[in-house]
Structure 1
Amino acid sequence: MGVDKKKEKPLDLYDYGIEEVKVQPIYNLSEPEVLRAQILEYMKYRGPKELSEGLMEKFVAFKDFKKQADILKEKLDVDKNLTEIKENEVKASNNVVTVNKFGTDINIPNQLEIASGYILDRVKMEKP
């Protein structure tokens, strides 16, 4: 079983290869027209690329604005709820003071006036 082990070359489908590359300048960039033409050629590709990247950044920023607006809305809801809690806390504190005053005040007409004021406030709050 003699297998011939030759050095195998990779398959070259196109049958060509590059042996050597040389660059020889035809135009001198110190000439204004040549330099201008080179800059314009470069900007043909660079300008649209820069413009499209700038637009994409703005679209990404708009995407973040939606998220920030949602967060701000939630924060405002929390602040509104905290304000309502604080208002109820103040009312409860005032009611505690009224009840304590009612229990310690021996002047019955004054106690009845305080109680009627409290009841009137409650009735006003219950009316639609």
Structure 2
Amino acid sequence: MEVSKSEFFKNRLFLPLKSEAFDWYQLGKSIEIRQQKGRFKNILESNYKYAELRKGYNGESIYCEISHIKEFDSFNDLIDNYDIKSIFPPCNSEKEALEKYTNFYLEEYPLIAISLRFISIV
């Protein structure tokens, strides 16, 4: 799918990622998870159509269309609804995925899962 640059940037969600998490998109990651706090607190009410995944704040970008956003009360609820590999591609078990999750998130908040499809901008 191709989207014009002006259309993309007027309605995009910016998601800076650690290098490790950014690289997972090359391994098949398609679900971005965030805790529902701070600027993500009201994301379910937003009308974002696109997402820019960026390695850090100044690195390379991957452009995506947001197919849907869902809320989950816990990590276990999230894992019950998605294949682990779509969230944490290097993990082979729920236990490994939980370890990765706790490395990224130290506190418990409801989670949002953002389902993404890669696109090209022109």
Q: TM-score range by the shorter chain?
A: under 0.3
Pick the structure with more strand per residue. Answer: 2
Greater relative contact order structure (CA < 8 Å, 6+ sep)? 2
Larger Rg: 1
Give the TM-score of the pair, scaled to structure 1.
0.16
